Chain A
Amino acid sequence: MLSIKNLNVKLEEEDKQILKGVNLEVEAGKVHAIMGPNGSGKSTLSYVLSGKDGYEVTEGSATLEGEDLLELEPEERAAAGLFLAFQYPVEIPGVGNMTFLRTAVNAQRKARGEEEMSAAEFLKVVRAKAKDLKIDADMLKRPVNMGFSGGEKKRNEILQMAMLEPKMCILDETDSGLDVDAMKLVAEGVNALRNEGRGFLVITHYQRLLDHIKPDVVHIMADGRIVKTGGPELALEVENNGYADILAEVA
């Protein structure tokens, strides 16, 4: 599904290498988790994959089902099936959440040569999915993420994911700023989307999110590289011993 080979990335504005040869294969139907200390390059990886400005790929490749992601505009990557759940969802005054969702759904459908969703059909689908995530009518009506709590913002990300039905989902620290109940709700939303055709890359600092979204594979990232890969037990090891032991071991 998602194939990253020897990805090297530096900041565009300064001579600072952030990713130093990342290799990663996420298969359809699998959940991969990336853990790692602050500054290891986890969020940069998610931004580079989704096409944010400010980064320069100096070497390597990233493909989604064989399609070169790095050649595409952000909106083309989305239409190709890539979805990034933002660590900090952006507030957009004046743009209604519903308008935003419908514009996004139909823009992607149009880009893929599919028929646009009618207003009535869209409303029906969005209401049902919002209900599962305990997103009320008021949140749908309000401007995108404006006045939303941390938990509401993250639920709104998952609602977008549910509406857009991407092939490959990247969750960037979706657990940050969430209490236990909110995290459960978000995790349930994610788990409901797990299926054979869809890949997940869950980026997190902490093991606790992985109690709810059970990963198949866990990677440890440090200093711009994946330094260790294992099963779910690797996350528990981090939780118990911190990163220091692992980093010492691979050094």
Chain B
Amino acid sequence: MADAAEKLTPTEAMIAGLEMPGAGWSKTAREDALARLRAMGLPERRDEYWKFTRPDTLTQPNPLPAAVLGSEEAPLFDEMDRLKVVFVDGVFDADASDDLALEGITIERLATATSDLHWARDLYGSLELNGQDPVERPLASLNTAFATDGVLIHVTGKPSKPVSLIYRHVSETSDAILHHCIKLDAGAELTVLENGPAAARFNKVMEVDVADGAKFHHVRAQGRDHERRAATHIFARLGTESQFKSFTLTVNGVLTRNDCVIELTGDDAIAHVAGACVGDGEFHHDDTVFVTHDAVNCESRQVFKKVLRNGATGVFQGKILVKKDAQKTDGYQISQSLLLDEDSQFLAKPELEIYADDVACSHGSTSGAIDEDALFYLRARGVSHAEATDLLTLAFLAEAVEEIEQEELRDELIERLSSWLQRRSA
């Protein structure tokens, strides 16, 4: 008991500094989430899934400041036809955003969606609650309880363009908590893009309910500000024959923890999660993925690639849980790191837990330096050491980027990675 009391102290300190927004329909969900948070306590280093990542800067009452960096480079997705929804330090910016009306979809701000019988009432916090078992995710409960803004997206058809969530960072001490709910009706389709530095500290939850036959695509980039600290969660539930595909590119941020919790609840569903990350110097990046197969003949795929140098740290904790009746499951998981020097490290915890007897699941994790033979081959053709290293690094990351289905997005991310690598080695 002494332990629990000890653990609650920082949790109560954090809660004391936050104010629960008063929206009617989400009130119960928020209060339940707060009760969960109090019962769990904020994450600590001794927690099973926080052994490789120090949570203290995410759980202390005030965020550490993060310098706001400008860039001459155009933001990602700039040329694309998309519906822009802009948040500045976690607050919706109507002037910078597009008109939220689009055929096949309704988009509302969490902060102003006040109707008592809101559709999001059944979703808000519910997938987060599901995702607390068997692994506790207190930062997500904190988010559900105290999120100040976000988008509520109800997809009824196939909108003509992606919804692009843009997170701008203006204040050096901003502490943003955003919560998005996305509900796709049967057969609906949506692509969501996310990019931007967001805030000094960013806690974000995205709950995605993908109904039968619906398709959800998600591509996000976490870049720019070096000193940012972020904890993000995706909670997804997949219906029969539905698809969920998510890709994340991370190239900056002193601390990033991305949790992705997926539950395949309908037969023949497909879930792909991929990530590419480049860490340089003071950089800690943690992908924690938990995929649960609870239906027949579903496919899940996890592909994570990390390039680390100058003392950067990469973490991968990935699990495939196959429940007793989830026969014919096809599960795949690969996590790989390319360590460009001996100061960098990659910590991986791949897990399979299988209760069904007719499944095909494989997982692998590798960690290695650049291939010296390939490097020499390129140099023998006249390519400089630096350029050859970039080329091989990009090739390594490209295997994760290839997981993105849309060619346009794939090409843009490859191009961005390529120029980023060139700048770094210049």
Report A's interface with B, CB cutoff 8 A.
50-53, 73-75, 77-79, 84, 86, 89-95, 99-100, 103-105, 107-108, 111, 143, 160, 164
Instruction: Answer whether residue B119 sits at the interface, using C-beta atoms and an 8 A cutoff.
Output: no
Q: Is the CB of A107 within 8 A of B394?
A: no
Q: Is the CB of A79 within 8 A of B382?
A: yes
Q: Roughly how many angstroms separate A99 CA and B378 CA in the complex, as a whole number? A: 12
Q: Roughly how many angstroms separate A160 CA and B373 CA in the complex, as a whole number? A: 17
Q: Which chain A residues border B398 with CB–CB below 8 Å?
A: 94
Q: Is the CB of A107 within 8 A of B374?
A: no
Instruction: Answer whether residue B384 sits at the interface, using C-beta atoms and an 8 A cutoff.
Output: yes
Q: Is the CB of A111 within 8 A of B380?
A: no
Question: Which residue, B377, B388, B391, has most C-beta atoms of chain A within 10 A?
Answer: B377
Instruction: Answer whether residue B387 sits at the interface, using C-beta atoms and an 8 A cutoff.
Output: yes
Q: Is the CB of B395 within 8 A of A103?
A: no
Of A86, A89, A108, which is within 8 A of B382 by CB? A108
Q: Is the CB of A89 within 8 A of B377?
A: yes
Q: Is the CB of A92 within 8 A of B395?
A: yes
| A-contact bits for B378-400, CB 8 A (1 contact / 0 none) | 11111111011001101110110
B150 to chain A, nearest CB (A): 37
Q: Which chain A residues border B392 with CB–CB below 8 Å?
A: 92, 94-95
Given contacts A94-B394, A103-B391, are A164 and B382 in contact (CB under 8 A)? Answer: yes
Q: Which chain A residues border B384 with CB–CB below 8 Å?
A: 75, 107
Given contacts A93-B395, A94-B396, A94-B399, are A75 and B382 in contact (CB under 8 A)? Answer: yes
Q: Roughly how many angstroms separate A243 CA and B418 CA in the complex, as a whole number? A: 52
Q: Roughly how many angstroms separate A193 CA and B73 CA in the complex, as a whole number? A: 45
Number of interchain pairs (Cβ within 8 Å): 78
Given contacts A75-B382, A107-B382, A164-B381, are A53 and B372 in contact (CB under 8 A)? Answer: yes
- Beyond A78-B379, A92-B392, A94-B394, 12 additional contacts (C-beta under 8 Å) are A51-B380, A90-B373, A92-B371, A93-B399, A94-B392, A94-B395, A95-B395, A103-B383, A103-B387, A105-B382, A107-B382, A108-B382
Interface of B is mostly: helix
Of A51, A91, A95, A105, which is within 8 A of B379 by CB? A51
Q: Roughly how many angstroms separate A77 CA and B398 CA in the complex, as a whole number? A: 30
9 A-B pairs with CB atoms under 8 Å apart are A74-B379, A75-B380, A75-B381, A75-B382, A79-B382, A86-B380, A94-B395, A104-B382, A107-B383
Of B377, B379, B385, B399, which is within 8 A of A92 by CB? B377
**Closest Cβ neighbor of B390 among chain A residues:** A103
Q: Is the CB of A75 within 8 A of B383?
A: yes
Q: Roughly how many angstroms separate A78 CA and B388 CA in the complex, as a whole number? A: 14
Q: Which chain B residues border A79 with CB–CB below 8 Å?
A: 382
Q: Is the CB of B380 within 8 A of A50?
A: yes
Q: Is the CB of A73 within 8 A of B382?
A: no
**Which 6 interchain pairs have the tightest Cβ spacing?**
A94-B395, A78-B382, A108-B382, A104-B381, A74-B379, A90-B377
Chain B residues 331 to 389 lying within 8 A of chain A, measured CB to CB, are 371-374, 376-385, 387-388
Q: Roughly how many angstroms separate A93 CA and B70 CA in the complex, as a whole number? A: 35
Q: Which chain B residues border A93 with CB–CB below 8 Å?
A: 395, 399
Of B376, B395, B396, B399, which is within 8 A of A52 by CB? B376
Q: Which chain B residues border A90 with CB–CB below 8 Å?
A: 371, 373-374, 376-377
**Closest Cβ neighbor of A76 among chain B residues:** B382
Q: Roughly how many angstroms separate A74 CA and B374 CA in the complex, as a whole number? A: 13
A162 to chain B, nearest CB (A): 13
Q: Roughly how many angstroms separate A111 CA and B382 CA in the complex, as a whole number? A: 8
Q: Which chain B residues border A53 with CB–CB below 8 Å?
A: 372, 376
Q: Which chain B residues border A99 with CB–CB below 8 Å?
A: 391
**Closest Cβ neighbor of A103 among chain B residues:** B383
Q: Which chain A residues border B373 with CB–CB below 8 Å?
A: 90
Q: Which chain A residues border B378 with CB–CB below 8 Å?
A: 92, 100, 103-104
Given contacts A92-B392, A103-B391, are A75 and B399 in contact (CB under 8 A)? Answer: no
Q: Which chain B residues border A92 with CB–CB below 8 Å?
A: 371, 374, 377-378, 392, 395
A43 to chain B, nearest CB (A): 14
Q: Roughly how many angstroms separate A160 CA and B377 CA in the complex, as a whole number? A: 12
Q: Which chain B residues border A111 with CB–CB below 8 Å?
A: 382
Q: Which chain B residues border A94 with CB–CB below 8 Å?
A: 392, 394-396, 398-399
Q: Which chain A residues border B380 with CB–CB below 8 Å?
A: 50-52, 74-75, 77-78, 84, 86
A194 to chain B, nearest CB (A): 21
Q: Which chain B residues border A50 with CB–CB below 8 Å?
A: 380
Given contacts A53-B372, A86-B377, A100-B378, are A73 and B385 in contact (CB under 8 A)? Answer: yes
Of A74, A75, A78, A95, which is within 8 A of B391 by CB? A95
Q: Roughly how many angstroms separate A74 CA and B380 CA in the complex, as a whole number? A: 5
Q: Roughly how many angstroms separate A92 CA and B378 CA in the complex, as a whole number? A: 9
Q: Is the CB of A75 within 8 A of B385?
A: yes
Q: Which chain A residues border B395 with CB–CB below 8 Å?
A: 92-95, 143
**Closest Cβ neighbor of B402 among chain A residues:** A94
Q: Which chain B residues border A143 with CB–CB below 8 Å?
A: 395
Q: Roughly how many angstroms separate A111 CA and B67 CA in the complex, as a whole number? A: 39
A87 to chain B, nearest CB (A): 12
Q: Roughly how many angstroms separate A164 CA and B380 CA in the complex, as a whole number? A: 11
B371 to chain A, nearest CB (A): 8
Q: Is the CB of B381 within 8 A of A160?
A: yes
Q: Roughly how many angstroms separate A160 CA and B381 CA in the complex, as a whole number? A: 8
Of A51, A52, A91, A104, which is within 8 A of B383 by CB? A104
A247 to chain B, nearest CB (A): 32
Q: Roughly how many angstroms separate A73 CA and B376 CA in the complex, as a whole number? A: 10
Q: Which chain A residues border B374 with CB–CB below 8 Å?
A: 90-92
Q: Which chain B residues border A77 with CB–CB below 8 Å?
A: 380
Q: Roughly how many angstroms separate A52 CA and B371 CA in the complex, as a whole number? A: 14
Chain B residues 217 to 273 lying within 8 A of chain A, measured CB to CB, are none
**Closest Cβ neighbor of A84 among chain B residues:** B380
Q: Roughly how many angstroms separate A144 CA and B330 CA in the complex, as a whole number? A: 31
**Closest Cβ neighbor of B376 among chain A residues:** A52
**Closest Cβ neighbor of A77 among chain B residues:** B380
B143 to chain A, nearest CB (A): 37
Q: Which chain B residues border A95 with CB–CB below 8 Å?
A: 391-392, 395
B353 to chain A, nearest CB (A): 31
Q: Roughly how many angstroms separate A86 CA and B374 CA in the complex, as a whole number? A: 12
